[in-house]
């Protein structure tokens, strides 16, 4: 017997019944981000490996341990994208966008890939929605991005999500903090894991991002990055906080927070959910400023700020609620006898052309089994078509909510379904 094939571990199928939640989240993102003036981009899922080495950082876990990297038939090293910011920056440079507009706002959505230990809401093929803003170094741009995320999460109806905020400084003030951090870490080197011994030499900020509990404990008692900020960075961070307060966006300053990518400067932030469905994987979105990324990839010296939200985790949170997603059929057509099958099939096609969502079981079967399917589908109305209905051109529309019967003509069926659907919606609205 041949072995049954299954999806690759950590790469999941999205099926009807769940995909409607994904479509809702993605549709809401497109609508809301459009209000902020962000246009959608789509970049390839495969990029030159060097793009991520140069941007994300060679010493990060993403590049060192998690990327899906392979040589193609031409001997080029390619990688499935592990995140969306670097590909967007590459596209910004390649298409000379700066020459077309001084301020650029983009958003994207799609799958990313990392070979990592899986846990709740974290998979090897995972999905993100994110945005990037190029051309503005102002604190207002940082806050606009955070405001957009906050409004997005609020529009999804998610509760108990806290904004954590920090500043990592820049090339003027970060070296002094690095030196102090390394001095502190060397004094506690015996308490750190082997990976952090290496990180301490290559990029000490990575120690702060280690998931080892002992390393986290050591890092939590280390020097405070905010105490090392130069005046321009401090002024930038203070203005970010003032603007967040003006927008009534609550936040917590968390000086121990860093992001897992090397390109961040100054502002970094995370939106953290308090919900048992996520367990310890509580970050649903995050980002920050990366003013030197575009230049480091060979482009112009353009400041930028952006974010990404994990769609897998957002969908998990929405599944915990009671809200139903996706549109049910407007009408289910059942047949009372085999002779009505062709007429019902033709009628269903006609009504779909007129804009109705129509369910119809092409297998036929007993009327009882068809009515069970209608009930399961959630259809608002059911029409039973038999010889009498075909001959007279008249039928009865069954309202599934209460079982009442509404006389209709087959020629005016689409209009009748729309009329009675509108009446039903209006009645529900008045009741509430």
**CB contact at 8 A, 135 and 302:** yes
- CA 414 to CA 105: how far, in whole Å? 43
What are the structural domain ranges in the chain?
A: 19-173+229-319, 331-426
Q: What's the token pair of residue 136?
A: 């503005």
Domain boundaries 19-173+229-319, CATH class: alpha beta
Q: How many other C-beta atoms can be found within 10 angstroms of the C-beta atom of residue 114?
A: 21
Q: What's the token pair of residue 269?
A: 């932030």
- CA 301 to CA 174: how far, in whole Å? 19
User: In the chain, how many H helices and how many E strands?
Assistant: 16, 16
* Same CATH fold assignment for domains 19-173+229-319 and 331-426: no
DSSP state at residue 64 = I
Express each pLDDT in 1-24 by its tens digit: 578 899 999 999 999 989 999 999
Distances from the Cα of 197 to the Cαs of 62, 191, 201, 207, 216, in angstroms? 17, 10, 7, 9, 14
Residue 237: HSE in the Cβ half-sphere, 13 Å Cα cutoff: 26
* Phi/psi of residue 312, nearest 5 degrees: -60, -45
Express each pLDDT in 123-172 by its tens digit: 999 999 999 999 999 999 999 999 999 999 999 999 889 999 999 999 99
259 is in an annotated binding site: yes
What value, to the nearest 5°, has the Cα angle with vertex 213 and ends 266 and 261? 30
The structure tokens 């080197």 sit at: 189
Query: How does residue 280 score in pLDDT terms, banded at 50, 70 and 90?
Result: low
382 is in an annotated binding site: no
CATH for 331-426 is: 3.40.50.800
83 is in an annotated binding site: yes
Lowest mean pLDDT among 175-179, 182-186, 240-244, 274-278: 274-278
* Mean pLDDT along residues 341-369: 95
132 is in an annotated binding site: yes
- CA 149 to CA 307: how far, in whole Å? 8
100 is in an annotated binding site: no
Q: Within its chain, how far is the Cα of 297 from the centroid?
A: 26
Alpha helices for 133-230 (secondary structure H): 139-155, 174-187, 194-202, 205-208, 213-220
Whether 429 has a pLDDT exceeding 60, the answer reads no
270 is in an annotated binding site: no
Express each pLDDT in 204-220 by its tens digit: 777 887 778 888 888 88
128 is in an annotated binding site: yes
**CB contact at 8 A, 54 and 296:** yes
């Amino acid at each position: 017997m041949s072995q049954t094939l299954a999806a690759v571990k950590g790469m999941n199928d999205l099926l009807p019944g769940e995909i409607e939640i994904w479509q809702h989240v993605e549709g809401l993102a497109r609508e809301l981000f459009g209000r902020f003036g962000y246009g959608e981009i789509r970049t390839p899922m495969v990029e030159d490996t060097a793009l991520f080495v140069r941007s994300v950082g060679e010493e990060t876990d993403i590049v060192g341990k998690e990327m899906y990297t392979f040589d193609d038939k031409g001997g080029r090293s390619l990688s499935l994208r592990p995140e969306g910011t670097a590909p967007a920056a590459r596209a910004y440079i390649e298409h000379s966008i700066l020459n077309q507009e001084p301020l650029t706002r983009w958003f994207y959505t799609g799958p990313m890939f990392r070979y990592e230990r899986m846990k709740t809401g974290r998979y090897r093929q995972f999905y993100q929605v994110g945005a990037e803003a190029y051309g503005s170094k102002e604190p207002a741009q940082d806050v606009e991005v955070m405001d957009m995320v906050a409004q997005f999460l609020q529009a999804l109806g998610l509760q108990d999500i806290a904004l954590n905020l920090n500043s990592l400084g820049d090339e003027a003030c970060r070296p002094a903090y690095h030196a102090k951090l390394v001095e502190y870490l060397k004094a506690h080197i015996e308490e750190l894991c082997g990976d952090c011994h290496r990180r301490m030499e290559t990029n000490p900020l990575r120690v702060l991002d280690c998931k080892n509990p002992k390393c986290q404990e050591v890092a939590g008692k280390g020097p405070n990055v905010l105490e090392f900020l130069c005046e321009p960075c401090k002024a930038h961070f203070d203005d970010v906080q003032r603007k967040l307060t003006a927008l009534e966006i609550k936040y917590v300053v968390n000086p121990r927070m860093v992001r897992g990518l090397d390109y961040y400067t100054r502002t970094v932030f995370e939106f953290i959910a308090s919900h048992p469905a996520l367990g310890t994987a509580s970050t649903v979105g995050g980002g920050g400023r990366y003013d030197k990324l575009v230049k480091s990839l060979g482009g112009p010296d353009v400041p930028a700020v952006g974010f990404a939200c994990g769609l897998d985790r957002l969908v998990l949170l929405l599944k915990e609620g009671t809200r139903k997603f996706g549109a049910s059929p407007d009408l289910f057509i059942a047949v009372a006898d085999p002779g009505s099958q062709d007429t019902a099939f033709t009628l269903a096609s006609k009504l779909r052309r007129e804009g109705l969502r129509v369910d119809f079981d092409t297998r036929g079967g007993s009327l009882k089994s068809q009515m069970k399917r209608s009930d399961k589908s959630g259809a608002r109305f059911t029409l039973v078509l038999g010889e009498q209905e075909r001959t007279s051109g008249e039928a009865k529309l069954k309202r599934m909510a209460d079982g009442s019967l509404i006389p209709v003509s087959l020629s005016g069926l689409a209009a009748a379904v729309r009329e009675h659907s509108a009446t039903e919606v209006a009645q529900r609205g008045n009741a509430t």
